[in-house]
Structure 1
Amino acid sequence: MSTTLNIALIQTDLHWEDPVSNRKMFEEKIGGIPDKVDLIVLPEMFTTGFTMKPQNIDISEGDITVKWMQRMAQDYRVALVGSIIFQENGKFFNRLYFISSEGEIETYDKKHTFTLAGEDEVYEAGNEKLIFEYKGFKICPMICYDLRFPVWARNTEDYDLLIYVANWPKKRINAWDTLLKARAIENMAYCIGVNRTGKDGLDFQYPGHSAVYDVLGEPLAFSKDEEIIYATLDKKHIESTRKKLRFLEDRDRFSLKG
């Protein structure tokens, strides 16, 4: 059994509120990714950009994108993760989907909706943390604003990898850089952050800064450019570092409700 996980982070501009164009664009990028990659990470709301007008998006687009992700996973034998707008029971969610190469589906609804942009007034907040296993790695995925809340991400489950998908603006990018590194260090886990580039329909600029940090907060990959970023995660690095330093053994024990 392999002890490594090969990942690809797709850092790119997005077509504003245009799922069809975004799926086409991502399909072209995914088609050029090497076969050895196990997991592809896409940005937050990767089919629309961070819009607060989900009513502009046809209700069918959520299901269409999920089926598209399943097809990509099957065709390229790779897992995908990213968040989209999803409407359910008359409510809108900023919902992250993980779809494995074997067709398994996991979902996570963004816990911390971004009040500064009014996301809390448009999208329903989730209340359940997601932990799942893939190729021997225990993974915890989160979305953008969740990054500012360390208690929600606290590694009480011994996960190996923390993933943040985001649309994080240029004006606050220093917080993104700092907090991604902090989440890796305090949780002794790999931490991945995938941001977008370009300018959205509201003229907010996004500078990339997608990154991968190891369990000591050392950068394995970082980019400001529109490109696909690659990194290999090693389970032995996690195990040996935790065994040597044993910081997680001294962590506070607690559980969260809601």
Structure 2
Amino acid sequence: MALTIQHLISWKQQGRSIITLTAWDYAIAQLLDTAGVDIILVGDSLGMVALGYETTLPLTLDAMLHHAAAVRRGVKRALIVCDLPFLSYQESISQAINTAGRVLKETGVQAVKLEGGHPQAIETVSRLSAIGIPVMGHIGLTPQSVHLLGYRQQGQTPMDAERIITEAIALENAGAFAIVLEHIPSFLAAQITAKLAIPTIGIGAGPNCDGQVLVTADLLGLSEKQPPFAKSYVNLRHIITEAVGEFSWEVREGKFPQS
């Protein structure tokens, strides 16, 4: 059974945690879907983990469409959400509609995600939702604003915390079906989660969100560097390096292939 936004809303009401991971290609997406992940996010983090950029900013819309379509082909059950890349939606409402429309039409994903809770972002969410494009919000640490905010925790002062709460409520009122809360204090994430009827998905925001998301490369131990709030469940960098080393040794020694 393919999951829908209505499932997520129902799960929040039931207290059932929502599992979210990122994917950037067919193989990873298929594995995540088979494992029972609820939301597969084609995050712009793929610019770093799959394409080798230092930030998410260089990722183009064409590259995102390419990867999102590959992910979609690997998924039968999970709800797929695709990030809108930097400067593919911020110039105008018209640009945002065109970009989000292309993402849904050309890739087959079911929803888009955009960063920010400022007035322009709220208007964008409202307009997209009004024409039937589901939108996930993203506030707190927003990686597309790295040159302005850095990667430090957000919402540490009472003023900043109140601003983030206000942004979350505004996003819900604008029609967002869920909100990612990234790298904010646990108490703040708990307050926001309690105030909203839509699910919150935490990353570095403590245990009191309605769900959790990690970058899959971090979870699998593929990343060179990890944020402080990530957890590796296996060290695939080590396993893959050992396997390649063993293969290389066997080839050099004439042990593979066997005659």
Q: TM-score if structure 1 supplies the norm length?
A: 0.42
Could you say which structure has the greater relative contact order, defined with CA pairs below 8 angstroms and 6 or more residues apart? 1
Going by fraction, where is strand more abundant, 1 or 2? 1
- Per the normalisation by structure 2, the TM-score is 0.42
Of the two, which has the highest radius of gyration? 2
If each structure's helix is expressed as a fraction of its own residues, which one has the higher value? Answer: 2
